[in-house]
Amino acid sequence: MSEQHTHPDSTGRGASVRMRGVTKSFGSAHVLKGVDLYAKPGTTTVVLGPSGSGKSVLLRLLVGLMPPDSGEIWFDDTRVDGLPEADMDPVRTQLGFLFQLSALFDSMTVSENLLFPLQEHSRLSKVERRERVRETLAMVDMAGAETKFPAQLSGGQQRRIALARAIMLRPRLVLYDEPTTGLDPVRARGINMLINKLKRELGITGLVVTHDLHSVKMVADRVVLLLGGKVRIEGTFEEVMASDDPEVQGFLTGRGSEIGATA
Ligand SMILES: Nc1ncnc2c1ncn2[C@@H]1O[C@H](COP(=O)(O)OP(=O)(O)O)[C@@H](O)[C@H]1O
Ligand SMILES: [Mg+2]
């Protein structure tokens, strides 16, 4: 079942992402004060940080949903901050976004939900679309769910469908905003396994915002911790855990209870 069969222009190679000195304020709230970040193609980077530290804002800046006040944002060799909307479109088709509390359209079947992103952005034929839906559902272990309505699915299944929708265009970068929040540990683990599978099988570059250290351990190639509007530490999960920076430890031990809670 070759991916290239239906989508020859997407070889599944992930994109790189770079941020340089990115700042963003809302009125007097200086949320991002100069963020530098690099995500290597085909790797998963986890963005950690306290509630309100600007993690979702960072993802929104990346997709061009809002502009940074200053700094640079690069998607491969394309500088995307300040890019005119028309030029942003071809970039956006290479991005998948699993929003925080991503909602499906309740009145649409799973299949219709998945076809939604294809309407504007794909030249696939009707047969190819149906095949793409089938293939994507299989990928998220939801084969055969085409005609179901969201209300007939569990929370974990809905999350899988939302993820399927995010990868319908076979993006080269997927942004996951708290993909496991609200799920029990077993279902959360299932989503994390999917994130790893998409990396492995589609070569997708992933940027994952999460609060759950179990998830970090499972999915992260690199971890970035946002504190006070800047990247306080960057490294592997083990390196970040072993940091003797009191601010880093303060954050991690504040989260420590979550490790216990889901163990
Ligand atoms: N569109 C907006 N307008 C004004 N303030 C915003 C907007 N988006 C985010 N903020 C503020 O920016 C801060 C960071 O938000 P967010 O990125 O959502 O935090 P989190 O790290 O929890 O995802 C919060 O104080 C939030 O209120
Ligand atoms: Mg958020």
Q: Are residues 207 and 127 in the same domain?
A: no
The values of phi and psi at residue 48, to 5°, are -105, 160
Which pTM was predicted? 0.89
165 and 177 co-located in one domain: no
38-73: per-residue pLDDT in tens?
999 999 999 999 999 999 999 999 988 899 999 999
For residue 123, the CA-to-ligand 2 centroid distance in Å is: 33
Is residue 229 lining ligand 1, measured as CB closer than 6 Å?
no
Question: Could you report the per-residue pLDDT of 13-40, keeping only the tens digit for each?
Answer: 899 999 999 999 999 999 999 999 999 9
Average pLDDT of the segment spanning 205-220:
94
Q: For residue range 125-173, list pLDDT tens digits in order.
A: 999 999 999 999 999 999 999 999 999 999 899 999 999 999 999 999 9
170, 200, 235 - which closes a domain: 170
Q: Are 61 and 104 found together in one domain?
A: no
Specify the residue with its C-alpha closest to ligand 1, atom 3.
26
54 lines ligand 1 (CB under 6 A): yes
pLDDT, mean of residues 189-218: 93
pLDDT tens digits, one per residue of 76-111:
999 999 898 888 888 988 999 998 776 899 999 999
Handedness of CA 251, 257, 259, 261 (dihedral sign): negative
Considering only CA atoms, which residue is closest to atom 25 of ligand 1? 52
pLDDT tens digit string along 221-239? Answer: 999 999 999 999 999 999 9
Residue 194 placed within a domain: yes
Asked whether 26 lines ligand 1 (CB < 6 A), one says yes
Supply the residue whose CA is at minimum distance from atom 20 of ligand 1. 52
Q: Whose CA is nearest to atom 17 of ligand 1?
A: 54
Poorest-confidence range of 158-162, 189-193, 194-198, 255-259? 255-259
Residues 103 and 157 in one domain: yes
Of all protein residues, whose CA lies closest to atom 2 belonging to ligand 1? 26
User: Measured from the CB, is residue 226 less than 6 Å from ligand 1?
Assistant: no
Domain boundary among 155, 170, 185: 170
Taking CA 18 as the corner, what is the angle to CA 14 and CA 24, rounded to the nearest 5 degrees? 130
How many other CB atoms are found less than 10 A from the CB of residue 154? 10
* CA 19 – CA 127 distance, rounded (Å): 39
Ligand with an atom nearest the CA of residue 25: 1
C-alpha–C-alpha distance, residues 204 and 136, integer Å: 14
Q: Which atom of ligand 1 is nearest to the CA of 53?
A: 21
The residue segments making up the domain with residue 178 are 32-77+173-263
Domain boundary pick from 151, 170, 189: 170
Nearest to residue 250, comparing CAs of 36, 35, 49, 34? 49
C-alpha 157/C-alpha 197 separation (Å) is: 17
pLDDT tens, 241-260?
999 999 999 999 886 444 43
Query: 6 vs 82, 114, 173, CA distance in Å?
Result: 33, 16, 19
- Considering the domain architecture, whether residues 115 and 194 belong to the same structural domain is answered as no
**Residue 191 clears pLDDT 60, i.e. is over it:** yes
Nearest to 190 by CA among 217, 211, 160: 160
Query: Which pLDDT value is given to residue 211?
Result: 81
Is the C-beta atom of 57 inside 6 A of ligand 1? yes
Question: What is the model's pLDDT at position 255?
Answer: 65
- One domain for residues 132 and 241: no
DSSP codes of every residue in 127-171:
HHHHHHHHHHHHHTT-TT-TT--GGGS-HHHHHHHHHHHHTTT--
